[in-house]
Amino acid sequence: MIGSLNPQQQAAVTLPPAHALVLAGAGSGKTRVLTTRMAWLIQSSQASPFGLMAVTFTNKSAREMLTRLSALLPINTRGLWVGTFHGLCNRMLRAHHRDAGLPQTFQILDSADQLAAIKRLIKGAGIDDDKFPPRDVQRFINGAKEEGQRPADVEVWDAHRRRLVEIYQLYQDQCQREGVVDFAELLLRAYELLQRNAPIREHYQRRFQHILVDEFQDTNTLQYRWLTLLAGGGAHIFAVGDDDQSIYAFRGANVGNMSDFERDYARGNVIRLEQNYRSYGHILDSANALIAHNTGRLGKNLWTEQGEGEPVRVVEQASDLLEAQWIIDEIKALINDGSLRREIAVLYRSNAQSRIIEHALFSAGIPYKVYGGLRFFERQEVKHALAYLRLMDNPHDDTSWLRVVNFPVRGIGARTLEQLSDLARQQESSLFRAVPSMSGKGGNNLARFAELIQQMAHEAQVLSLPELIEHVVHHSGLLAHYQTDREGADRIENLQELVNAAAAFVAEANLEGLPAGRIPDGALTAASLGAEASEALAAMSPLAAFLTHASLEAGDNQAQAGQDAIQLMTVHAAKGLEFDSVFITGVEEGLFPHENSLLEAAGLEEERRLMYVAITRARERLYLSLAQSRMLHGQTRYAMRSRFLDEIPEQHLKWLTPRDGRAPVQAQQLAWSGAFRRGNTFNRGDGGSSATPMAARSLTSSVTVGALQFRIGTGVRHAKFGEGTVIGLSGSGQDAQAQIQFRDAGTKTLALGVAKLEITAG
């Protein structure tokens, strides 16, 4: 059973009964150690199968653990307490529903059901949902529960928070009346059951003498308290985790639980699993060097016996379009060399980055699958925006009408829509045409919506396609709706990326300068739609052509179940997975690390852990790519290399484009517009700067100060700092600032109105 384990794994499996912390690095066999520990305890008669509890974070992990355990021992695993926190708490509450104050048949609300219940409560109580958006209320309630707080426990410091606490109480009363619990309530109610009922608490404390916990770094405050309460009767917690892979702070995970557990329970009883069975040496050494920049780590260093392997390849392209094309070309080469598509993954920090990669894969005819998420044109917020656009092109599209007529909410309820549908059937007309026949408040709200669509359709006659989409996102209420949701940042980024998609489409189809609603003279150049579509497109407006393009890209290029396909995903979704070849895209300051993380050390350290997770997904080949210019938020941004590149030693990197030198900004702009094609690369040498982007972030491509004109790429000389290259510009006139990479002095931000600079080139 333990003969095939390495010495560190054997030491962890055969620990005598005691609290223990196992620091299990990526690819070090932690699941194997957990299940073998359970089997060893049973086989050595130190525990019965029913005296063990094993806690995981996913049902998949729980199933894998049970499968491995049954392969090691001839036992029936059906009755074992192995499952997720929520699953085990549900099991406990079902057994003691009366003591927990719940009906025997209590129902569980998932996140969507919980939100619907909160919306119903807010409406019924006459609460202003502009001041108290349902999603904000949901987040407040769940956050309080995850801290173990009932309404009476929540600290109140102003009137707004007092009202939130009152809504929390109303919600709690509503759930109790209806006999339902949400996910956070499962854990809180189970914790309270053990805390307040001594006989039940002592029963479980006697029963479970060994509690094994997977992914301990992802536990939140209440989960930690629940575990230690269960162990209060003398049980031993065997915690397995990796503080370097704690990337879920936004979900409430507390990486500090690991150091707290070591200090309060394990008391130095820590075993490190550092031998990696997944990746080659260059990949692991890169990850080790990167994560070493974080403070307060428990500390470990991954190593392998597989050899160094290939160095990490780094490529810097002039634009995000060229970056995507380079990735596609490299993927084609890997496939030609025998790689399976499913063993190739493209990772990105932000969901919005997937759109341009999806488009490149689609154009190349390479099947792909978006793991743990939806393809770009299938995402809720994108489909909402497209529905508005479709109604502007064709107001009689009933499917699009029903999708957005009351989204965002505008007082058009189910009863009103039912009456409208009845009228439309009687008149044999579309819903739009039946609106004038409606009366009352519902009819007035429908008329206002129809007028909104007509007004936006009128704008299509004067605005370009990208401008029109921006107009729709603002005036439809979509932007305001998602701005009220703290988790809406990704959705807003995707809406902004839809503007970028339109700009790219306009450039490819040679439609620059043409209003979105006008039919052009002559056939369109429809590169992305195929030559056979050109004749049909000749009679289409840019808006109609773009909608056709979106439908095609959202169509059948997604891989079918079981089909060999390229894997696309965010880095968060990639945790726990591994691939032969991994591309990490957008390795730029402000993107990875994300600009939202740069304001505080804790945020930056989580971003570094996220990059560590991304790097350690690769078995054989790792690629890091970045672009000097990228379309973000509807504007071209000029990027700096991520500081993470500077934190990886040069001996582990192989630059496929020169590390030094930078293309003129004109070349970058042409690359974005499509004038430059594969084979032309331009590189910005910032010489390893780890400086953050300029604070204002309102970057520009050129600035004139007096008689001097500065551009991105301009060579300059300073009396003190020597020669350098302009890599960022902001402001204008005497207030302009330049970020300059000096050859010998590093990166400096200088006020151009007072700095005495001499232009040497560009």
Structure token pair of residue 762: 């560009």
Nearest CA to 21 among 294, 328, 272? 272
Which of the following is catalytic: 617, 619, 621, 641?
617
Query: What does the pLDDT read at residue 223?
Result: 92
How far apart, in Å, are the Cα atoms of 163 and each of 138, 143, 147, 156, 650? 14, 16, 19, 9, 55
pLDDT at residue number 566? 92
What are 24's strand-pairing partners? Answer: 273
Q: How far is CA 97 from CA 85, 94, 203, 564, 743, in A?
A: 17, 5, 16, 47, 70
Picking from 682, 672, 580, 671, the residue whose alpha carbon sits closest to that of residue 634 is 672
CA distance 344 to 335: 9
- The encoded tokens of residue 60 equal 């998949």
CA–centroid distance for 178 within its chain: 34
305 catalytic? Reply is no
| Alpha carbon separation from 27 to 30, 214, 216, 226, 615 (Å, rounded) | 8, 14, 16, 29, 12
Which pLDDT score, from 0 to 100, does residue 374 have? 67
Question: How much is the pLDDT for 521?
Answer: 60
Task: Write out the E strands in 643-721.
Answer: 653-655, 702-705, 708-711, 715-718
Nearest to 509 by CA among 529, 524, 531: 524
pTM over 0.95: no
pLDDT at position 302? 92
Q: How far apart are CA 369 and CA 367, in angstroms?
A: 7
The CA distances from residue 194 to 181, 201, 539, in Å, are 17, 5, 70
Query: Which amino acid is it at 100?
Result: A
648 backbone dihedrals φ, ψ, rounded to 5°: -105, 125
Low-confidence spans in the chain with pLDDT less than 50: 523-538, 556-557, 661-698
Task: Quickly count: other Cβ atoms within 10 Å of residue 540's Cβ.
Answer: 21
User: What residues are paired with 715 via a beta bridge?
Assistant: 725, 761
Residue 46 corresponds to which tokens in the numbers above?
């130190």
Query: Which single residue is written with the structure tokens 């089997």?
Result: 39
* Distance (Å, whole) CA 241 – CA 25: 8
Of 4, 56, 57, 58, whose CA–CA distance to 34 is shortest? 56
Evaluate whether 680 touches 727 at the Cβ level (below 8 Å): no
Which residue among the candidates 8, 30, 56, 138 is catalytic per the annotation?
A: 30
Query: Out of 10, 14, 31, 195, which one is annotated catalytic?
Result: 31
**Structure confidence at residue 527 (pLDDT):** 41
Q: What angle do CA 233, 238, 243 make, to 5 degrees?
A: 125
Contact between 23 and 242 under an 8 Å Cβ cutoff? The reply is yes
Cα(559)–Cα(486) distance, rounded to whole angstroms? 32
Q: Which residues contact 546 (CB under 8 A, 6 or more apart)?
A: 389, 465, 502, 505, 516
Q: Tell me: cis bond preceding 466? Omega within 30 of 0 counts.
A: no
Q: Which two tokens stand for residue 398?
A: 């009933």
Q: Is 406 helix (H, G, I), strand (E, B) or coil?
A: coil
Number of Cα atoms under 13 Å in the Cβ half of residue 307: 3
Nearest Cα neighbor of 57 from 79, 86, 78 is 86
- Alpha-helical (H) ranges within 24-58 are 30-43
First to last CA, the chain: 68
Active site residue 84: no
Q: How many CA atoms lie within 13 A of 349 on its CB side?
A: 25
Contact 426, 467 (CB under 8 A): no
CA-wise closest residue to 622 among 584, 591, 572: 584
Distance in angstroms (rounded) separating the CA atoms of residues 623 and 528: 27
- Report H helices in 197-319: 198-207, 221-230, 256-261, 281-291
- pLDDT at residue 114, as a whole number: 84
State the pLDDT at residue 700.
59
**What size, in residues, is the chain?**
762
- Active-site hit among 146, 185, 215, 343: 215
The confidence score (pLDDT) of residue 43 equals 87
Q: Which residues pair with 315 in a beta bridge?
A: 625
Rounded to whole angstroms, the Cα distance separating 291 from 605 reads 9
Q: Hey, is 272 helix, strand or coil? A: strand
Q: Which two tokens stand for residue 512?
A: 């620059």
Name the percent of the chain in helix, strand, coil, to the closest 5. 50, 15, 35
Rounded to whole angstroms, how far apart are CA atoms 648 and 644? 7
Structural Rg of the chain based on CA atoms: 29
Q: Which of 9, 245, 325, 692 is catalytic?
A: 245
Note the pLDDT of residue 333: 93
CA distance 438 to 486: 37
**What is the pLDDT, as a whole number, of residue 608?**
94
What pLDDT does residue 520 have?
Answer: 65
d(CA 383, CA 550): 10
369 is catalytic: no
- C-alpha 117/C-alpha 138 separation (Å) is 10
Q: Catalytic annotation on 31?
A: yes
641: its two tokens: 């290399």
Residue 334 is predicted with a pLDDT of 95
Known catalytic membership, residue 491: no
DSSP states along 472-501: HHHHTSHHHHHHT-GGGHHHHHHHHHHHHH
Tokens of 442: 């519902």
Active site residue 214: yes
Which residue, among 453, 449, 457, has the nearest Cα to 412 in the 3D structure? 449
Asked whether 620 and 308 are in contact (CB, 8 A), the reply is no
Residue 532 exposed, middle or buried by CB count within 10 Å (0-12, 13-18, 19+): exposed
Q: What is the dihedral of CA 658, 659, 665, 670, to 10 degrees?
A: 40
Q: Tell which residue, 754, 667, 668, 752, has the closest CA to residue 710.
A: 752
